[in-house]
Amino acid sequence: MRTSLLISTLIVLLFAGLAIFGASRPRPQDPTLTKPETVMATFHVVAGKEADFQQVLVREWETYTKEKLVFDQPHVVVRGKKADGKTYFVDIFTWVSQSTPDHPPASVAAVWQSMGPLVESRNGHPSMEITEVQLVAPKN
C-alpha cells in the first residue's frame, strides 16, 4: 500500500511538472517535423503605395531570415503592372517548415499586419494570394 501511494504521488508530481515546465515554455519549432514549402505570394499594391510596400517586403525578408524561417535561396521578388496599369509584386521563397505560416512568430505577424493597408482586392482576387509552388529550375 505504501509503495502504491508513493508511485501514485510520483506520477502526479511528474504530470504536474510537465504541465508547469513543459507547457508554459514556448517550444522551439523543429523544422524536421515538417517538410519545406515553396510559395509564390502575389500582392496587389494600392496605387501610390509601391515604395512603402517595397520597404515592408525588405523588412519581411529580414525578419524571416533573422528568425531562420526561410532558406536564403531561392528568393525572387518581381514587380509588374497589369494591363490596367496597376502594380503587383510577386515574392517566391521557401519556408524551412510548411507549418510556419500557420503558426508565425509575433515578429512575422506584425510585419504581415503592416501590409494590410498597402494592398487591395482586385477583379475578384484577394489583396494577397499565396500559392504553394514547385521549383523546376536546376539547383546550383
- Is residue 53 within 8 Å of residue 118, measured between CB atoms? yes
- Is residue 2 within 8 Å of residue 10, measured between CB atoms? no
The CATH code of domain 31-132 reads: 3.30.70.100
What average pLDDT does this structure show over 131-140? 82
Q: What is the pLDDT of residues 21-72, one digit of tens each?
A: 333 334 455 544 579 999 999 999 999 999 999 999 999 999 999 999 999 9
The C-alpha cell at 35 is 517538410
Domain ranges of the chain: 31-132
Q: What is the pLDDT of residues 71-123, one digit of tens each?
A: 998 899 999 999 999 999 999 999 999 999 999 999 999 999 999 999 999 98
Can you give the pLDDT at residue 95? 96
Can you give the pLDDT at residue 11? 36
CA terminus-to-terminus distance, the chain: 67
